[in-house]
Amino acid sequence: MWAFRGHLRTCLAPLRSNAVASKAVQTHLPLKITRRTQYRPQNLGLLQYISFYQYTKLDATQLPQLRYQLLTDWAKMGVMGRVYIAEEGINAQITVPMSTLDNFKTYLDDLPWLDDALLNLGAVIDHNEQDPEKKCPFHTLHVRVRPHLAYDGLDKNLPMDNRGLELTPEEWHAELQDTSNKRIFDCRNYYEHDVGRFEGAERIMVDTFKDTWESLDSLLEGSSKDTECMIYCTGGIRCEKVGAYLTTKGYTNVKRLKGGIVHYGKHIRQHNLNSKFLGRNFVFDQRLSNEDQTYTEDILAQCYQCGEPCNTHVNCSNTLCHGLIIQCSTCSTQYDGACSASCQDYKHKMDKMDMEERRAFSKQNAVNFKHHLVPNARVRPGNPFHSFSKRTFSTFQVESSPLLNGYINERSHIPVKRNVVANWHAAISKDYTPAMMQKMITPGQAKYLQFLVQALNAPSVLEIGCFTGYSAVAMASAMPNGHVTTCDIDPKAIAWTRNQLKAQNVNNVELIDSPGIELIQTLIKEKASFDFVFVDGSKKDYKPIFDLLVTSDILEKQGWIVFDNTLFRGEVVEQAYGNGSPNQKTAIEIADFNDHVAQDNRTRSVICPMYDGLTLVQKI
């Protein structure tokens, strides 16, 4: 562990955003960065694994020069790894030869902008080691310029001057002696939480960091702003942004673990303490979550294939899949390290091929695994239906992606006289960020709704939850002689949508400023009736909305209701089979709603595993 204080380094001075220094640096660095020769060092001896980051303001115009400088200088010292630089700072996971470690320390110590970076020192690795569990995780050095150190998906930058109170591992350990009246949030991805976590920690249940905010808001819904929120992640980089987010939301008692789990682990080992972190720490290299990352002997996860207790992450041995799974030694032997019998068969076929045959085979079959990312291939354990098969997930499952959604939209045909939907989506893209647009239905889902209203010949549609009006306009355009009544309570969204309705001359959509339940009650009094209802509003209102629609005459007999998000990121299944967190309030509410609908004898219903779950209900 080192903390480096900055000294002057002339060649990097422009990163202080000083105009005079900016001119000076151009005399040291080329104006055009050319493609460098391949850097792949050999026989470097013993290597020190190091990770560090720092949020610090860098001049965006000078990032290409900084990238070139780091590549050039660090390659001379035999550094390998992944380094990301952005306007908000630096994030690095690297190895440094022990023979140049002191020089590297001096180099970092001289950077004027790197004045508070905590270096987490990992394992010492032999560069010539061939054991996959022990060999160096890097082959070369990559320095990449990125918009963010950790992509957060937010529509504006977080103010990083108030990130909550930073606790040393010693202070954190002391705080965890009493966890009453505390909320402890694990800011990592779900597969990391599976094999190791602090006692009492709540998982935010996300696949990627940008999904954190909606889940965190759901967990804290209704909580007092003085709630003690303790947050942690692997190395600390996520927590700083989560801390900034919570403070901007008005939470006044936010505490984060300095240096993350890695730094905490060093502390408890140095002082021979009983770890409050249970199980194993997941790290993003060949070590994954295996023996050298064990903090306690607690086994918290289960083998994805047989369900036996297991804490070991591996990548599927079928290189076309490479899915990240938890696999016990028995299943590893049985399936030759593959995640399924199908992938095992692929592996056996490729093992018998020479290089050219394998390349052609991979090219031909890659489409079957195109959805896979690393980490990936995850079906959460606990669902009893998994017991019907040794394969706990399908290698050929089609995962949602922008490419898939685009394909569905392009290959779905809905006859409409006036295609206003594409123009509407373009207008949304201009005025809303991608993060905000994730709250909308996709173009493919819009076409699904168009198909339903046309096929059902439903001229009168009610929508609960308008947002940008995209789904309302999609349905309205599919029935030019019909009418859509929709509602919302967001003043900004209402104003935007009304302006667009006028600008794009859409006359068969009426947007009412009202909560969904209140609007339905008003419409019942007015004896209004509808053939089709689409509900995509507040999830806690789903159950009373369902009852109002079914018990009154507002929905015609044989009329349809479609509820969106009824699987809610898979958390509903977790709740249904006893594996969810009691703080997943939205998932609990939807699980209760799903049970309520399934037991209702006045309707027929089906939950479709489409998008985030669609429940189709027909009044009978």
Any idea where the domains of the chain sit in the sequence?
A: 2-145, 165-279, 301-388, 402-619
Least confident of 21-30, 280-289, 488-497, 546-555: 21-30
pLDDT for 227 equals 95
pLDDT bracket for residue 294 (50, 70, 90): confident
pLDDT bracket for residue 400 (50, 70, 90): low
Which whole number is the average pLDDT over 110-123? 86
Q: Does domain 402-619 have CATH number 3.90.180.10?
A: no
Q: Is residue 237 over pLDDT 70?
A: yes
Q: Is residue 31 over pLDDT 50?
A: no
Q: Is residue 394 over pLDDT 60?
A: no
Q: Is residue 107 over pLDDT 70?
A: yes
Which whole number is the average pLDDT over 81-102? 94
Which whole number is the average pLDDT over 216-235? 92
Question: 223-228: which pairs have CB atoms within 8 A and are 24 or more residues apart?
Answer: 223/183, 225/250, 225/251, 225/252, 226/251, 226/252, 226/253, 227/183, 227/251, 227/253, 228/181, 228/182, 228/183, 228/253, 228/255
Q: Is residue 153 over pLDDT 90?
A: no
Q: Of the spans 138-142, 301-305, 322-326, which averages the highest pLDDT?
A: 138-142
- The tens digit of pLDDT for each residue in 412-435 reads 999 987 779 989 988 998 888 766
CATH topology of domain 165-279: Oxidized Rhodanese; domain 1 (3.40.250)
Q: Of the spans 132-141, 201-210, 301-310, which averages the highest pLDDT?
A: 301-310
Q: pLDDT higher for 389 or 540?
A: 540
The CA distance from 572 to 561, in Å, is 20
The CA distance from 84 to 94, in Å, is 11
pLDDT for 132 equals 65
Q: Is residue 25 over pLDDT 50?
A: no
Listed residue (88, 29, 20) closest to 56, CA to CA: 88
User: Tokens representing 38?
Assistant: 């391949």
pLDDT for 4 equals 35
Amino acid present at 393? F
pLDDT bracket for residue 291 (50, 70, 90): very low
Q: pLDDT higher for 225 or 207?
A: 225
pLDDT for 62 equals 92
Q: Is residue 217 over pLDDT 70?
A: yes
pLDDT for 133 equals 63
At the top level of CATH, the class of 2-145 is alpha beta
Q: Which residues are catalytic?
A: 233
pLDDT for 209 equals 79
pLDDT for 374 equals 37
Which whole number is the average pLDDT over 278-283? 87
Q: pLDDT higher for 486 or 437?
A: 486
Q: pLDDT higher for 601 or 397?
A: 601
**CB-CB contact of 96 with 78 (8 Å):** yes
pLDDT for 418 equals 77
pLDDT for 190 equals 80
pLDDT bracket for residue 437 (50, 70, 90): confident
The CA distance from 312 to 296, in Å, is 14
Q: Is residue 395 over pLDDT 50?
A: no
Q: Is residue 563 over pLDDT 90?
A: yes
Whole-number average pLDDT of the chain: 84
Q: Is residue 526 over pLDDT 90?
A: yes
